[in-house]
Chains A and B, each alone.
Chain A
């Protein structure tokens, strides 16, 4: 631990590396836009609200996108965006996704709002899993078993939900998740097993057990596997905001 300091450089090595990587990523996206996304001619229709459909010419959009991303990347590499780097990155990624969607649906159209709604719904398990991971990382624990815990929770939720209704299912799922992580904790702390190994083992254990029980019990007794799901609920007022409102606020309670 040296006590001498030269005039502290503006950015640490870590930060310089990261900003360089961001620049390269932008250029990379620009190249993809230029060569792949501009390959399909045609117009893409983004249905936003009942009445209005935004039409984007896929090819031109992709080409414009390529130029924009290239420019952003060049600026990033040259001097960086400093505080705005994350904002620029988010904006660039969003535009890229739009370009990608335009390419994918060129010649047709699709329901953007519905897709957004779907996106939010699908991102819930990933988000929850990520939060679990962050919590563990913060306290220095490596939790490889998140997938196993998710799976176990899903299974428990399905079975208990079929028997006792969706709310019980949620509680059951949580209990199962807790149980599996308790297993992880006991093995890692009391029996001093390497956390990564236990994590993998629990993943397999969960996978095997759920498949096994699924086959053995659920196929014979399908009444254990029919859950009445939650219905989407529209938050008054907020869900009337066009596009975003529906996506974010007309969702099930779990979201």
Chain B
């Protein structure tokens, strides 16, 4: 009997990471359900427990329908996922090198503005303008990401602090830029930018289907997938990727091995910024076609959750980002259908992160034995 259990444990070991992730998501959904029920004040006042539980049902069903239940839902999920994938990689690649990039929001803003400029400064042909604009986005993000990298390499300033502050600076700088003559739309007084020329927009994925203008998914998704592939290739196959991995796991050993760690610090933040900049380009050139004050939202923090969920691996980050994108797309549906505010999504995300980061907890709840624990720091802490 003991042998059987041990064998089962070993089986679980192998799939354990995947299994733990699923169990974590499940646990988060359960807690979310609980929150929905106990906050259903109307039904509870009437002692209508069944009614409260059915709210959960309709809420979660709406989530599913809203994210994958129709072509339109899938299209929405694709669009929501695109910036999440790119920013997720941004954070992930920094994590791999041992740095905590909280500045994905600011880098996305920077990249968005540079790609925007190419977007309205040029007028086609699309085959040149679109790649150029995307490239501009990457460059803008990379340049902005280089700032905390250089600060850290030169002065040791911790990137957690510099990136958060730079986020704020970027947001207000954008606000100012959008009121300058160069960027502001001619007939407006509010901070909103000129429109990207039609040739510069990212083509829609479902453009071939006539009459379905509601399918807004755009090429940005392809860029995001390509980014995942590039990320994988970079980590596995290049010398610099190897250096990132070594440096992220053990900075002292990297120095001993002769790696130029200062350069690695700057490079990793630049690459991270570049990916986030691509996200900005995708949103500006694809989803909106212009920029207003906060097209990046709070994506930086979502990106962190995604990178953690996916353990900074290329495939893991991709799936985590799609999950979050689905939650976002479905969440709007949920709010419409069942009156459950979309803020529940924020709670769900937080719960997922907590459960993912606490494999011991999930183990305890679900009584999986022998699951492998990935302990240890995700990034280098303060002053160490």
Contact = CB atoms under 8 A, between A and B. Distances in A.
Nearest to A202: B350
Contact of A204 (B301, B340, B341): B301
Given A142-B381, A197-B378, A209-B347, A204 B353 contact: yes
Interface residues of A, number: 27
Given A192-B360, A197-B308, A204-B349, 9 more contacts: A192-B358, A201-B351, A202-B354, A204-B353, A208-B345, A209-B343, A212-B346, A216-B41, A216-B339
A207 B346 contact: yes
A212 B348 CA distance: 11
Contacts of B377: 194
B349 A215 contact: no
Contacts, number: 93
Interface of B: 35, 39-42, 100, 301, 304-305, 308, 339-341, 343-351, 353-354, 357-361, 373, 375, 377-379, 381-382
28 contacts: A187-B358, A191-B358, A192-B373, A192-B375, A193-B354, A193-B357, A193-B358, A196-B100, A197-B308, A197-B353, A197-B357, A200-B301, A201-B357, A204-B347, A205-B350, A205-B351, A208-B344, A208-B347, A208-B350, A211-B343, A211-B346, A212-B343, A212-B344, A212-B347, A215-B341, A215-B343, A220-B42, A221-B41
Contacts of A204: 301, 305, 346-347, 349-350, 353
Given A208-B344, A212-B343, A217-B39, A201 B354 contact: yes
A212 B35 contact: yes
A200 B35 contact: no
A58 interface: no
Nearest 9 interchain pairs by C-beta = A208-B346, A208-B347, A204-B350, A205-B350, A211-B343, A215-B341, A212-B343, A191-B358, A191-B360
A208 B349 contact: yes
Interface in A169-207: 187, 190-194, 196-198, 200-205, 207
A89 to B, nearest CB: 20
Contact of A209 (B35, B41, B375): B35
A187 B41 contact: no
Nearest to B382: A142
A212 B357 CA distance: 24
A234 B199 CA distance: 67
A204 B345 CA distance: 10
A142 B100 CA distance: 15
A196 B160 CA distance: 11
